[in-house]
Chains A and B, each alone.
Chain A
Amino acid sequence: MSLAARWRDSALVVAAILALWQAINLVGGDNLMTSPLATVQHAADMVGQARFWPHLRETVTAYLAALAIAVFGGIGFGVLLGAHRLTGEVAEPIFVALYSIPKVTLYPVILLAFGLGIQAKIAFGALHGIIPIVIFSLNAVRQVNRTWLRTARTMSLTPMQTVRHVIIPATVPEIFSGLRVGAALTLLGTMLGELFASQRGLGFLLMTAIDLHDVKTIMAIALLITLFSVAMNAAMLALDRRLHARF
């Protein structure tokens, strides 16, 4: 399918979502859902206010710190565990099991360990993100074709050269796919942390808005977070596809 057709179809989907949103507003009124236009206006208003920025900064700081831990920790653990066949076999099912448990139940444990504040959010975000990154990296390293490694030895490449010319090209696309999933889950974890027992951040604003029944603010924050995550996901997905095509 041509690029133009794909853009047109995507535009149709966005239009359909907006139309549905507007229709709900027309039927249910502003107390149920504010209209798309009013939501965008309110979001712009909020971003323009000085008191909004400390909350945004808190969320962004927590998210970036959690992401850094998840990315470096995840790739590090994944590559180490995957490099040895038996450890990979032992570790993978454990991480897969961890992936499917409702981690939100562990938030009180994190709070007890890290105290109230930004550390708990960072730890919780990192906990969500690190697991898929470990799983993807582990499998990426495990599935490097043995023949390629033997070929590298035959050509007597140094370990550095093997890493540079064989291992990195073979594992990067898969690891990057893990990063994409991990980045999304880190955001989810950070937001979850902010919704529960938090005094600052976008999640805290959401909870305050619920208490005040401030639908406009709820919608505006949900919109901002959604736009951010969709944009980031689209960029990473595009890069992901190019990596998979290139290597």
Chain B
Amino acid sequence: MSAAGWIRLLVVALMVGGLEIACRAGALPATAIIAPSEMVRAMIEVLASGEIATDIQLTFTAVAIAAALAISGGFVLGFLIHLSPRVRAALDPLLAAYYAIPHVAFYPLLIVVFGLGIGPLIVLATAFGIVAMIIATLTGLDRVPRVLTRTARVHRLSPLQEMTLVRLPAAMPHLLSGLKLALSYAFIGVIAGEFILSTAGVGHAIAYAYDNFDNRRMYGLIVFVIGFMVVVNMLVLVWERRMAQRRGAR
């Protein structure tokens, strides 16, 4: 690890340690926040008790379906849009404005249309994630170096071969970052939807614990959700680095 990496670890450790000491010393009220060690213990207790196993299953099913739809759909749509510059030019303002729209304003509408349950969550999370993948696919295909496509022409590759052997591999880094965004957006979409308008799922469990002044449980669940996302991000990052190394070595 680099020097900056070690310092970063130290900074985070100091922050967590500071919070721990502040809570233990009673500087922060226990009604507002509990010590990090307590949070982790609460998380283990909640997970071990199996009370939220069904919630976890529901949330992760929704995230998996939504992420799969957003990633595959976004890739296909981005690919199709890339084929037609006219469609592309027309959709550009829409794509640029998409993430400016606070999607939460549409939650209620989705409930009306799809009812309660996993349906609106999947629609919401897919809609939230898919555009990131579309944009990443477009950028990736745009930025294929001219020299690569020329080489493909020199080698008389068919359009299909050019696509699979040259363009897609060249666009891979952008596709990967699109995948990362789509995945975390799908996760955020599902959790946010559950949090506000659902009767089950991890997001709902957090809101429910808050409503019941059950801080221990609430913080345990929060740490679980955030910790999970951080781990997933780190795994994707490692994968990305490995791909980058392979590209560099080639």
Minimal beta-carbon separation of A90 from chain B (angstroms): 5
Contact check, A234 vs B11: say whether CB atoms are below 8 A apart.
no
- Residues in B with CB closer than 8 Å to A195 are 104, 107, 196
A112 surroundings in chain B (CB, below 8 A):
31-33, 215
| B154 touches A (CB below 8 Å) | no
**CB closest chain-A residue, reference B202:** A105
Considering only CB atoms, which chain B residue lies closest to A191 in the complex?
A: B102
Give the contact stretch, choosing among B50-58, B87-95, B163-171: B87-95
Given contacts A13-B90, A213-B112, contact A94 B104 (CB under 8 A): no
Complexed CA–CA distance, A237 and B103 (Å): 19
Q: Is A239 positioned at the interface, with any CB of B under 8 Å from its CB?
A: no
Q: Would you call the interface of chain A mostly helix, strand, loop, or mixed? A: helix
A112 to B206, alpha carbons, bound, how many Å?
13
Interface residues of A in 72-105 (CB under 8 A from B): 86, 89-91, 93-94, 97, 100-105
Contacts between chains A and B (CB distance < 8 A), count = 152
Query: Interface readout for A184-205 with B: 1 if CB under 8 Å, 0 if not?
Result: 1001100110011000000100
Please determine whether A187 and B102 come into contact, CB atoms closer than 8 angstroms. yes
Contacts A215-B112, A233-B96; A192 near B210 (Cβ below 8 A): no
Beta-carbon contact of A93 and B196 below 8 Å: no
- Considering the chains assembled together, what is the distance between the CA atoms of A10 and B88 in angstroms? 10
Residues in A whose Cβ lies below 8 Å from that of B12: 94
Q: Are A89 and B4 in contact (CB under 8 A)?
A: yes
Interface stretch, picked from A43-51, A137-145, A150-158, A224-232, is A224-232
Inter-chain contact A105/B191, CB cutoff 8 Å: yes
| Docked complex Cα distance between A103 and B99 (Å) | 16
Given A33-B113, A234-B97, A105 contacting B107 (CB threshold 8 A)? no
Choice from B4, B11, B93, B206 contacting A105 with Cβ under 8 Å: B206
Interface residues of B in 95-115 (CB under 8 A from A): 96-97, 99-109, 111-113
B7 part of interface (Cβ distance < 8 Å)? yes
Given contacts A90-B4, A109-B222, A184-B100, contact A104 B105 (CB under 8 A): no
Q: B195 contacts A107, CB within 8 Å?
A: yes
B112 lies within 8 A of A32 (CB): yes
> Would you call A109 and B33 a contact (CB within 8 A)?
yes
Q: Are A100 and B184 interface neighbours, CB within 8 A?
A: yes
B225 at the interface (CB under 8 A from A): yes
Contact between A12 and B109, CB atoms less than 8 A apart: no
Among A100, A102, A218, the residue within 8 A (CB) of B191 is A102
**CB within 8 A of B11: which of A9, A94, A103?**
A94
- Asked if A111 is an interface residue, CB under 8 A from chain B, the answer is yes
> Which residue of B32, B94, B105, B106 has the most chain A CB atoms within 10 A of its CB atom?
B105
Say which residue of A90, A102, A188, A215 sits within 8 Å of B103 (CB atoms). Answer: A188
Q: Is the CB of B104 within 8 A of A188?
A: yes
B188 pairs with A104, CB closer than 8 A: yes
The answer to whether B93 and A10 have CB atoms under 8 Å apart is yes
- Tell me how far the C-beta of A36 lies from the nearest C-beta in chain B, rounded to whole angstroms: 14
Tell me if A206 is interfacial: C-beta within 8 Å of chain B.
yes
B residues in contact with A107, CB < 8 Å: 195
Q: A97-B233, A222-B109 are in contact. Are A191 and B31 (CB under 8 A)?
A: no
Asked if residues A94 and B89 are in contact (CB atoms below 8 Å), the reply is no
Whether A105 pairs with B104 at a CB distance below 8 angstroms is: no
| A209 in the interface (beta carbon within 8 A) | yes
Residues B5-44 near A (CB distance < 8 A): 7-8, 11-12, 31-33
Question: Is A106 an interface residue when CB atoms closer than 8 A count as contact?
Answer: yes
B210: chain A residues at CB < 8 Å are 108, 111
Extra inter-chain contacts (9) besides given A105-B222, A108-B210, CB under 8 Å:
A33-B112, A90-B7, A91-B8, A94-B12, A100-B184, A108-B218, A181-B99, A192-B196, A226-B105
Q: Enumerate 14 A-B pairs (CB-CB under 8 Å) in ascending A order.
A: A89-B4, A104-B203, A108-B206, A108-B218, A113-B32, A187-B100, A191-B105, A195-B107, A210-B112, A213-B112, A218-B112, A219-B109, A221-B105, A233-B96
Instruction: Give A residues with C-beta under 8 Å from B.
Output: 1, 5-6, 9-10, 12-13, 28, 31-33, 86, 89-91, 93-94, 97, 100-109, 111-113, 180-181, 183-184, 187-188, 191-192, 195-196, 203, 206-207, 209-210, 213, 215, 218-219, 221-222, 225-226, 229-230, 232-234, 237
Residues of B within 8 A of A (CB): 2-4, 7-8, 11-12, 31-33, 86, 89-91, 93-94, 96-97, 99-109, 111-113, 180, 184, 187-188, 191-192, 195-197, 203, 206-207, 209-210, 215, 218-219, 221-222, 225-226, 229-230, 233
